[in-house]
Amino acid sequence: MKESIVRAEPSGGSTRRGRLRRWLVRAAAGGGLAIAAAWLAAPLGYRLLDARYPLSLASLELPPSGHVSAAEGGPEFARRVAKDEQWRRPVPLSEMGRWLPLATIAIEDVRFREHGGVDARAVARAAVRNVRSLRVREGASTLTMQLVGMTHRTPRTLRGKAIEAFRALQVEDRLSKDEILERYLNAVPYGANVVGAAMGAEAWFGCSAADLSLGEAALLAGLPQAPSRLQPDRHPERARARREAVLSAMRRAGLITEDEAIAAREVPVPQRLWPGRSGAPPLPATLHAAAWSLGERPSGGTTALRPELQTLADRLVRAHCERLAPGTEIALLAIDVAGARVVAHIGSAAQNDPLDGQVDGARAWRSPGSTLKPFVYAAAMEAGLIDADTLLDDTALDLDGWRPTNFDGAFGSFGGRVTVADALRRSLNLPALRAGQIAGLDRCLGLIEAAGVVLPESARRESGLALVTGGTRVRLVDLVNAYATLARGGLYRPTGLWADGSDGTLEAVRAISETTCEVLNDILSDEHRAPRIHGGGSHVGGVGFMWKTGTSSGHRDAWAVGHNGEFSVGVWVGRFSGAGDPAYVGAEVAEPILAEFMAALKSLK
């Protein structure tokens, strides 16, 4: 009998398990192929998106607050918040010290130097923990992603995170790790309205970021997680606990020893913002220098202002102001002749006054008195019409009904014929007006403006030759630079504020011949006369400078302007209200200040 073979039929459960196994195998294979395809396609997709949505590195920068300091090594004397009302001063990574960068990486992105902008390992870890807890317990943003978020203001949504991740890849394509870290530390908030490592260190510890201790750096590095909630002056215990987390992260990363961590925990938590800055003493009387500087360049910078000259100017202005009638104001401006940089600037003796303190006398429009006379004579000399020995009439003159007098005011008090040199030294009005007539108004105006004096558009129409005796308006800063033109042998350069020369890069322009300048400098030098000092006396010995004084009609403005070859200096004395005072005579109240400043300059060499 033939043996029959009987096969058992598979049960229903076994069949289902087999189908599931086969489906899982196929799914795994398909998923693997999909992942492999995605991995291969990702670079191509990224490049397409990168081309479609390019990244501008400028978009990673935030507006700085304005900070103005004196010449190299001098103190900061002015600051202004940025457009977004934040205090922010970018500095290079090399000026952020050792500890703050290390502490920041340890607590925020320990694999910063390993990933390419997006940390896949951190994303996976955060996803697992968040799913297990059914809420967001951990983020996965890298420092690069955070930098994008802070500068691009991306929304805190899944779409926003996707944008951050894409932009982070672009950033890593274009910048080195140190460049990214530098930008991050300059953009991160440290509580209140303080942003960036430099301002964070100064605001909380009164020092530079480079001088932060480990304990201070650890506290700062912890604040960006929640700047308001961790702000040390409001929540010291929270700030201390966060610092402990930073120190623990640094220990795990092997960046510090336990002994260093113990010492860092002893550093006190700051109790207030702006504990005070160390370093150079504050620069005096810089209100108007600050306003001018920040008005020209809101981001600030290093000015050419020299601390020792600013201090000298402030001391002299205060001392002389005390000797004059109440309400008297004094302005003093000095520039270096070679570069036309402002090295001292006092706009007012009463900078704390709510009214007068707001006016910058160095840039206010005032009547110049006789300070333009050298340039009127220069116009006639340039035309070959006069020289220092030419005789001019110091006699009565009638100009369409205007019968000018000399400074003593007595009509008929004239000296007859005098040389140009004598007339200029004595500041006689009539000979100067005749020199203006000889040169012609147009030639006079052209030379005055070429030398650096800005005149009102109406000067030709309204002033005429009366500008010779002060019948127009000028600014002290322009007068000082015009006298610097004489010091340069007739070369004009625009006045500038910044040490780097970025605001006065024009080539020097010939305004007056060197010969004419030599004649004028000699006529007005202290080799032929002695400058007055307070009390009416004269300095003993030559200081080595030339100068010219001026007094406006009604004794409203007293001037003294001159140069010593290295510096050009001007002094104005008066009242901003325009009220006159018989004491406001240039030779009596402004000249002594100028002479003392020039004498001090000589002693400083």
Average pLDDT over residues 582-587: 96
Helix (H) or strand (E) holding 80: strand 76-80
Give the CB-side neighbour count of residue 356, counting CA atoms within 13 A: 19
Q: Does 258 participate in catalysis according to the annotation?
A: no
Return the higher-pLDDT residue of 261 and 281. 261
Q: Which pLDDT does position 4 carry in this prediction?
A: 41
Catalytic residue among 108, 182, 588, 596: 108
Cα angle: 526, vertex 529, 534; to 5 degrees = 90
C-alpha to C-alpha distance for 88 and 186, rounded to whole angstroms: 8
Average pLDDT over residues 574-603: 95
CB neighbours of residue 536 within 10 Å: 9
- The residues that bridge with 302 in the sheet, in sequence order, are 69
Question: Do residues 311 and 284 lie in contact, with contact meaning Cβ atoms separated by under 8 Å?
Answer: yes
Angle between helices 429-439 and 441-451 (to 10 degrees): 100
What structural domains does the chain harbor? 91-265 (1.10.3810.10), 285-368+473-605 (3.40.710.10), 369-472 (3.40.710.10)
Could you give the strand order of the β-sheet that contains 300-302, starting from the edge strand earlier in sequence?
76-80, 66-69, 300-302
Q: What is the per-residue pLDDT across 518-550, written as a single tens digit (0 to 9) for each?
A: 999 999 999 998 888 765 555 545 679 999 999
Token pair in block for residue 331: 């302005």
CB under 8 Å, gap of 24 or more: what pairs does 346-350 form? 346/285, 346/288, 346/310, 346/313, 346/314, 346/317, 347/287, 347/288, 347/289, 348/287, 348/288, 348/576, 349/317, 349/318, 349/321, 350/321
Instruction: Write the single-letter amino acid at 436.
Output: G
Q: What is the per-residue pLDDT across 83-98, written as a single tens digit (0 to 9) for each?
A: 888 999 899 999 999 9
Q: Does 3 participate in catalysis according to the annotation?
A: no
Question: Do residues 559 and 541 lie in contact, with contact meaning Cβ atoms separated by under 8 Å?
Answer: no
Q: What is the per-residue pLDDT across 263-290, written as a single tens digit (0 to 9) for each?
A: 999 999 999 987 654 444 578 889 999 9
Q: Which pLDDT does position 535 carry in this prediction?
A: 56
Average pLDDT over residues 71-78: 80
Q: What are the Cα distances from residue 469, in Å, to 371, 407, 430, 592?
A: 8, 9, 9, 22
- The residues that bridge with 411 in the sheet, in sequence order, are none
Q: Is the pTM of this model over 0.75?
A: yes
C-alpha to C-alpha distance for 84 and 65, rounded to whole angstroms: 9
DSSP state of 351: T
Token pair in block for residue 177: 């790790």
Model confidence at 213, in pLDDT bands (50, 70, 90)?
A: very high
Q: For 157-316, where are the E strands, in sequence order?
A: 194-195, 300-302
Question: Do residues 471 and 497 lie in contact, with contact meaning Cβ atoms separated by under 8 Å?
Answer: no
Residues 6+ apart with CB under 8 A from 430: 392, 393, 394, 395, 396, 397, 404, 406, 414
CB neighbours of residue 262 within 10 Å: 11
